[in-house]
Amino acid sequence: MAHIPAERCLGIIQLLVEAPVGMQLGEIAQRLALPKSGVHRLLGALIEQGWVEHDPQNGSYRLTMRLTILGQRHYSATGISDICQPLLDELAAQTREFIRLAVIDAFALVWVADAQGARGGVMYQPLLTSNTVPLHATASGKVWLACLARDQVRDIIGRNGGFGDSGQFGPNAVRNFDQLFAELDRTRARGFGIATSEAEPGVTAVAAAICSGLDGAPVGSVSVAGPGVRMSENRLGELGPLVVDVA
């Protein structure tokens, strides 16, 4: 395993994370722009180490549960759930909306915990299947980016795939850096982020940045999201200070 390129093995693992039912060798090689022979050798090494398994019936490759188990152990060890979940539950009960906690992971923002406060009527449940936050189209992403210099924002947006394809997000999602920087200026002045029909049509969210007590650097965000029909301008003005306080 020491002679196997670690970066390519990680690339395979990251690709298979998005394919829980498995993926064929040819598709893996095509997606990673690598020769089949090399990918087959890498998969063999990952199988030997217990990260990947091969289905002999259909020929697909998929991750074992090892990564999930290690991830859960690491998340538990951080204490995030013990410290933050009670606060999320309290905010959910207070607002009767959907609450999410996200943490910064290298160049991405990842949702790690949530709480549902709605008990009836129109209830919001996220349609987004990925845990990675679309930064330009969410209140959570905006409050993080608003803490950064513009060159950092450009770099991070680039690393996260830019502004997405046409039609990928809601009708109000920003589509270029001029629009994004103007929105980040408004976010800084307001003290919290707002997204209306941006990540998902018909959904409005309010978020605040969670900053380190040591140096004031952002480490994550907390957000309230719900159907746009309930999110009037007055309600947004009420929810903003609440998420800031919880953050």
Whole-model pTM: value is 0.81
Residues in the chain: 247
**% pLDDT > 90, the chain:** 77
Query: Position of tokens 């003005």?
Result: 237
First to last CA, the chain: 43
The pLDDT tens digits of the residues spanning 26-60 come to: 999 999 999 999 999 999 999 999 999 999 999 99
Sign of CA pseudo-dihedral 166, 169, 171, 177 = negative
Contact 109, 133 (CB under 8 A): yes
Q: How many alpha carbons lie under 13 Å from residue 123 in its C-beta half-sphere?
A: 9
Its CATH class, for the domain covering 6-68, is mainly alpha
The pLDDT tens digits of the residues spanning 96-128 come to: 999 999 999 989 999 999 999 998 778 888 865
Segments making up each domain of the chain, as ranges: 6-68, 79-246
- Tell me what pLDDT residue 6 has: 85
- Tell me what pLDDT residue 129 has: 56
Residues of the chain with pLDDT under 70: 1-4, 127-129
Query: CATH code for 79-246?
Result: 3.30.450.40
Contact 81, 113 (CB under 8 A): yes
Give the torsion through C-alpha atoms of 170, 175, 177, 181, to 10 deg: -30
- Tell me what pLDDT residue 1 has: 41
What's the DSSP call for residue 212?
-
With left for phi above 0 and alpha for psi between -120 and 50, is residue 10 left, alpha or beta?
A: alpha
